[in-house]
Amino acid sequence: MLPLDGITVVSLEQAVAAPFATRQLADLGARVIKVERPDVGDFAREYDRTVHGDSSYFVWLNRGKESIELDIKDTADRAVLDAMIAQADVVVQNLIPGAVERLGLDAATLRAARPELVYCSISGYGPDGPFRSKKAYDLLVQCEAGLLATTGSPDEPAKVGVSVADIATGMYAYSGVLSALLRRFRSGEGATVEVAMLDALGEWMMQPTYYAVYGDRPTVRTGAKHASIAPYGPYRAGDGNTVFLSVQNDREWEGLCRRVIGDTALIDDPRFVHNTERVEHDAEVTVLLEKAFAAYDADDLVDRLDEVGIACARMRTPAQFHEHPQLQARDRWRSVMTPGGQAIDALLPPVVLSDAAPAMGDVPSLGSHNESLRAEFARMARVLA
């Protein structure tokens, strides 16, 4: 038995944040009914056509769900939606600001009729304040949260290469729904869960925010190097390839000096004695490391750093990640079907339950459950009418 067996989720969702949250719920056994616009569906279906003709975003975010096309403004379709919500444990929505209020599908309206309902609303900037009606997408929230001021080179900012604002938001929505369900199990009361993208990514931005505000230091972009820990980043080996390493404390710095650089005088050098000093003299640290690393090719350097106990890595491409030996050794891939009827590899969820495998169902085509869901909820629709 999976933890959410018997839980029904109705989701008025699109794009990334809400679908990411509800996919986690589906993996844990919840029944997730995805409500989509007739004929066009979730617009993330058309972001690209790279996965056997389907969107890479969509197949990542929507496995294990049921898809129904509903025109919410149509009387008959609205009756079907109302019938589904009447049986739901959880409603999730991330429609444009103000849409659910205009449709009478907001938390206050639905929970007035069913106080036990868990209602999760995802927005860009929250339900009030001057930005409440502003549209929000991942890169734009990265800008507003200050993230782009921390990523990229000194000359040019760069977005994070994945939808980090959406992912953060989806994970907080997911954990918020789980928390509300746990409380409901104890008290019988539902909850209204609000998650704003700015708040979610803002939580992840607190370290550089504290560093800038209380350290009274301008925020700088440091490329692939860490802005406040050194040495931590990419360094060139003797064969011209790059190895990433991270020194987290003075003990590790001492080990690096003794056993890799081969110069114990650097341990107590005032320029490098603690992390704060090493950050201030990072350019000099880099010169010292790359001079020592010139004696190694990249593979030998990784072996040496591992032997000494210095955390390190080689940079892989996403395609190389797919073939990562650690994932292969731990059997972390499963096969799921795409809307076109072809199988793809899907990575197991990060949380491993010792006695239950995640559901990991197939990715639905648009409206693939129209007939079955309409038949199932038709009688309830008539009762509600």
Is 217 within the bounds of a domain?
no
Domain identity same for 13 and 84? yes
What would you report as the CA-atom Rg of the chain, rounded to the nearest whole angstrom?
Answer: 25
Domain at 187, CATH number: 3.40.50.10540
Give residue 120's pLDDT.
98
Give residue 42's pLDDT.
95
Domain identity same for 166 and 270? no
Q: Which residues are catalytic?
A: 226
DSSP string, 7-56: -EEEEE--SSHHHHHHHHHHHTT-EEEEEE-TTT--GGGGS--TBTTB-H
Q: At what angle do helices 197-204 and 206-215 cross, to 10 degrees?
A: 70
Is 311 within the bounds of a domain?
yes
Give residue 350's pLDDT.
94
Q: What is the dihedral of CA 322, 143, 23, 53, to 10 degrees?
A: -60
Q: Which residues pair with 243 in a beta bridge?
A: 235
Domain final residue, candidates 285, 315, 345: 315
Give residue 170's pLDDT.
98
Is 162 within the bounds of a domain?
yes
DSSP state of 74: S
Give residue 339's pLDDT.
94
Is 358 within the bounds of a domain?
yes
Domain identity same for 269 and 131? no
Domain identity same for 126 and 52? yes
Domain identity same for 125 and 255? no
DSSP state of 348: P
For the stretch 52-61, contacts whose Cβ atoms lie closer than 8 Å and that sit 24 or more positions apart, written own/partner, are 52/338, 52/340, 52/342, 52/344, 53/340, 54/338, 54/339, 54/340, 54/363, 57/16, 58/363, 59/336, 59/338, 59/344, 59/363, 61/16, 61/19, 61/20, 61/23
Give residue 381's pLDDT.
74
Contact call for residues 51 and 29 (beta carbons, < 8 A): no
Domain at 242, CATH number: 3.30.1540.10
Is 87 within the bounds of a domain?
yes
Give residue 380's pLDDT.
76
Domain identity same for 283 and 348? no
Pairing of strands 90-93, 8-12: parallel
Domain final residue, candidates 289, 315, 341: 315
DSSP state of 260: I
Domain identity same for 199 and 243? no
Residue 163 domain boundaries: 8-205+326-384
Is 213 within the bounds of a domain?
no
Say how many residues make up the chain: 385
Domain identity same for 171 and 200? yes
Domain identity same for 331 and 297? no
pLDDT of the chain, 385 residues: tens digit per residue: 899 999 999 999 999 999 999 999 999 999 999 999 999 999 999 999 999 999 999 999 999 999 999 999 999 999 999 999 999 999 999 999 999 999 999 999 999 999 999 999 999 999 999 999 999 999 999 999 999 999 999 999 999 999 999 999 999 999 999 999 999 999 999 999 999 999 999 999 999 999 999 998 889 999 999 999 999 999 999 999 999 999 999 999 999 999 999 999 999 999 999 999 999 999 999 999 999 999 999 999 999 999 999 999 998 999 999 999 999 999 999 999 999 999 999 999 999 898 899 999 999 999 999 999 999 998 777 766 5
Domain final residue, candidates 315, 346, 372: 315
Total number of domains constituting the chain: 2
Domain identity same for 276 and 332? no
Q: Is the peptide bond before 231 cis (omega within 30 degrees of 0)?
A: yes
Is 302 within the bounds of a domain?
yes
Domain identity same for 332 and 185? yes
Listed in sequence order, the residues at least 6 apart from 71 whose beta carbon sits closer than 8 Å to its beta carbon are 37, 38, 77
Amino acid at 115: P
Domain identity same for 132 and 238? no
The position carrying tokens 């869960």 is 193
Is 134 within the bounds of a domain?
yes
